[in-house]
Amino acid sequence: MEKETGHAQKTARYRTEGAVSVFPAREREQHEDRDRERLLRAASVEWNVGYIPYKRAMVTPDKTAVIYEDSPCTYRELNERVNRCAHFLLRKGIRKGDRVAVLLLNCIEFLEVYFASAKIGSILVPLNWRLVGPELEYQLNNCSARLLVFHDSFLGSVDLIRGRLKVEQDKFVFLNSGAPLPRGFEAPRCPEWAEDYHELVRDQPVKEPHAEEPVHLDDPLAILYTSGVTGSPKGAVVSHQQTFFKNFQVAIYVDAQQDDVVIAQMPLFHSGGLFIVATPILCGGMTLVMRRGFDGGEFAEDIQRYRGTIVFALTTMWRIILDTGKLDQIDVSSVRCVVGGGERTPPSLFTELAKRNLYMQQGFGQTENSAMMLLPREDIQRKMGSIGKPGFFTEIWIADSTGRRLPAGEIGEICARGPTVMSGYWDMPDETAKAITAGGVLHTGDLGYTDEEGYFYIVDRAKDMYRSGGENVYPAEVEKILMTHPKISLAAIIGVPDERWGETGMAFIVPAPNQTITEEEILEHLRDKVARYKYPSRFRFMTELPLTATMKVRKAELKERYARI
């Protein structure tokens, strides 16, 4: 029986089309679980994220919802486009609970598929377009995606793996990205094994779609994959209800107003881009300025061009923007809120932005529970280095290994609970049980502490994970591949500070006996196996590595000796 993450009550319980699968499967427990499921369903509210464009089209139909590549789209137009897409999905046989994957750059069509899936109850699976074939293959098959919409830019990657995917043969959907090409090059055309997105949706009705099964607030909305510390990516399941609470939380953070114009180029496949930027903005009736990709100079010019009032950008993005010099050439007086962070942010960056009257508020979150904290603007200088205080709909505390709450100043694990926490990991009951324990407590794996005023600070990140350019990188995933090279006996990777990317990977390599290996050989071995942002950029060749009694690398010792180099 196929398994789908449901309300789960923060347990390893999955349901599909009325059936419930419980681990371990005992008949008595199954009966009890079905009774509990019926009670939960009776109490659940028939409402979903798809109501956002629908309601906005009723309330503010002529208001500009999105300005994409300088072309405006009103809320009425957005909802009509969403409805055409929803009817297309239904005619393709997509139903409630089916997974719909997208491998797309930022575009209006991404939002169309997202909200259309929400309206009919299918589950969106946004794929990181930086990933390569094997990584995409794993995620698509892990969630048993039935349909894939992909940009022409990724035609080669999809063609390479399509024969090994569970995606049905008539459900590969091609979309021209409109990305500029070098002179003499033509954009790829729709291959014979796929169908063109715009041809499929063009003649569909604009009326509201009718889903065969009602969609409830506690139903899954999306599966967002985040790399696992063991090397196996995990799909964090986010419900409609959790998403609405994130909308409320973000709106409070930024004191959202309907006349706000938001400048943001965070990728929509990220939790930040989709659930911290796009969804709250459109729910609040604001205007989102969006482009296909990020360009530092263009981003700065958009602030002035569209009189942006709220600006979202990660630390690495701000470094690139500052390097262009554009911030000294434009008028930023319209900006009243700047939200950033996403990685280690040096005090100098806050200072450089403040010189230009841009005061960046740093926050903290995970794919499993995004937008957990934000530092108030008035505390940026006074609490430099803090990630802020818990959001309105999130309770956060520091705990020791036994779960005891720790007082100010003591270092422990950052734990959280509340209506913004994910439902669980897709088809990974054991991992879900580790991450979310009794009472719906999320164990972030991050170490931190609070000060006497309740402000939070991070000491170290989950396991060995580091963030490079705003992307999570789990060394175990890359180490596993390095160890398949015949010339490598042992490999370990740690995150080290990097001026441009915040952090980068430093690889420690012990060659196999009587072997030598070069950096070039290592990078060639990684090619097409993992995304480029996961590649280590610094190397140190060793005769041995410090090991524990169980023969595990002492990464803490490596960090102590080399992380400050």
Chunked into runs of 10 residues, the chain (565 residues) has average pLDDT values of 38 33 43 61 82 98 98 98 98 97 98 98 96 93 98 96 96 94 86 97 96 94 78 89 97 95 94 96 98 95 98 89 94 96 78 94 91 92 91 95 93 94 96 94 92 89 76 83 91 89 92 92 93 93 79 80 74
Q: What is the pLDDT of residue 205?
A: 97
Note whether residue 36 is domain-resident.
Answer: yes
Domain coverage including residue 500: 466-562
Q: Which residues contact 109 (CB under 8 A, 6 or more apart)?
A: 85, 149, 175, 197
Q: What is the pLDDT of residue 121?
A: 98
CATH of the domain at 472: 3.30.300.30
Quote the CA–CA distance of 435 and 388 in Å, as a whole number.
23
**Can you read off the two tokens belonging to residue 544?**
């041995």
**Can you read off the two tokens belonging to residue 24?**
């371990």
Q: Are strands 337-340 and 310-312 parallel, antiparallel or unpaired?
A: parallel
DSSP state of 277: I
Quote the CA–CA distance of 121 and 90 in Å, as a whole number.
11
Quote the CA–CA distance of 129 and 135 in Å, as a whole number.
10
Note whether residue 13 is domain-resident.
Answer: yes
Please, are residues 267 and 448 in contact by the beta-carbon 8 Å criterion? no
- Count CB-CB contacts under 10 A for residue 402: 6
Note whether residue 444 is domain-resident.
Answer: no
Q: Is the peptide bond before 126 cis (omega within 30 degrees of 0)?
A: no
Alpha carbon 559 to chain centroid, angstroms: 27
Note whether residue 258 is domain-resident.
Answer: no
Portion of the chain with pLDDT greater than 90, in percent: 69
Please, are residues 466 and 505 in contact by the beta-carbon 8 Å criterion? yes
Q: What is the pLDDT of residue 551?
A: 59
Label residues 419-457 b or e (16+ Cβ within 10 Å = b).
Answer: ebbbbbbbbbbebbbebbeeeebbbbbbbbbbeeeebbb
- The size of the chain, in residues, is 565
* Burial of 5: CB neighbours in 10 Å, binned 0-12, 13-18, 19+: buried
Note whether residue 489 is domain-resident.
Answer: yes
Note whether residue 24 is domain-resident.
Answer: yes
Note whether residue 558 is domain-resident.
Answer: yes
Please, are residues 508 and 544 in contact by the beta-carbon 8 Å criterion? no
Give the count of domains, the chain: 2
pLDDT one-digit tens code per residue, 51-107: 999 999 999 999 999 999 999 999 999 999 999 999 999 999 999 999 999 999 999
Please, are residues 123 and 81 in contact by the beta-carbon 8 Å criterion? no
Q: What is the pLDDT of residue 233?
A: 86
Q: How many CA atoms lie within 13 A of 313 on its CB side?
A: 30
Note whether residue 139 is domain-resident.
Answer: no
**Can you read off the two tokens belonging to residue 557?**
């010792």
pTM: 0.84
